[in-house]
Amino acid sequence: MSGAGRVRLRAYAKVNYALEVGGLRFDGYHDIRTVMQSVSLFDEVEIERGPGEGLDLVVEPEGAEVGEPERNTVRRAWSLLQSVCGRELPARVRLRKGIPAGSGLGGASADAAAVLVGLDEVFGLGLGAIGAREIGARIGADVPFCVSGGTALAEGIGEVLRPLPAPPGHRLAIVRPGRGASTAAIYEGYDRLPGPGERCVGAVLAALERGSLEELGRTVGNALAPVTKSLVPEVEEYEQALRGGEGREGNQGNEGNGALGASMSGSGTAVYGVFGSWAAAEGTVSGLGAPFGGVYEPVPCGVESLPAPDAR
């Protein structure tokens, strides 16, 4: 099967409208139930056949966090795909980072998903979405969702996906403190909590089925948030500020009442607020002065193909 030779992709971030955590599994992971949504914050990935062997990875901007050179998710996706296909896949990958690292927004998973989708197209491997999701589950729990994206319920460790109705149109004000937190440490802290964490998935599912934005805002939640907030108190501060609509003078957020709801994404440390309008969300984000902040909206896919770049 022939391939495209060269592709350009957007790898979209995600937020968790709801996240519940179960017990520790035999494989060291936790069972989860989570409602995830792709959002318009993205990384851009360009992939082309390489002239020789191996993977040539260029990351922009210089110094962007993508993990250890030999263990980042781009390289792991490429290496695993070679093993599964039983052939060399010499490639050049240019990764332009827009999703902040250590935020719970799925940037590393989105990059792995885009590499799997892109290499499939470049080399004509015939994986399709199902094959890419199966391989992606071996890289990270969020990768299968990031391959397909949209709105979905994820269970197991995140590999069991069920598409859900898209939410009513809205804006997400996303802010992140200047520091992240270790996902492993957060789950270890969760295991030490005295009782079960927040149960919010059922209420979010009902809100989506009814198509109620107000209900969705009221029911967003995250069982890991108490642990992350104990390690990074700014997470609590931003969440409260989003709910209170503390923006620039004269702009009080969502009709003076702040976000319809606010929660942490993933294991953190990014926090989002659900707003009915762009102006309300933008006013609130601008007033917070967070190291990272912006206004985004839901998108229906996890990886999007863009017009091919001009040949260099």
Catalytic positions? 14, 142
Can you tell me whether residue 150 is helix, strand or coil? coil
Give the C-alpha separation, 207 to 168, whole Å: 10
Asked if 56 and 259 touch (Cβ cutoff 8 Å), the reply is: no
Please identify which residue in the block is written with the tokens 């990935």.
Answer: 45
Side chain identity at residue 231, one-letter code: L
Asked if 103 and 234 touch (Cβ cutoff 8 Å), the reply is: no
> Whose CA is closest to 89, among 59, 57, 126, 52?
52
Tell me the angle at which helices 128-136 and 73-85 cross, rounded to the nearest 10 degrees.
120
Give the C-alpha separation, 142 to 245, whole Å: 30
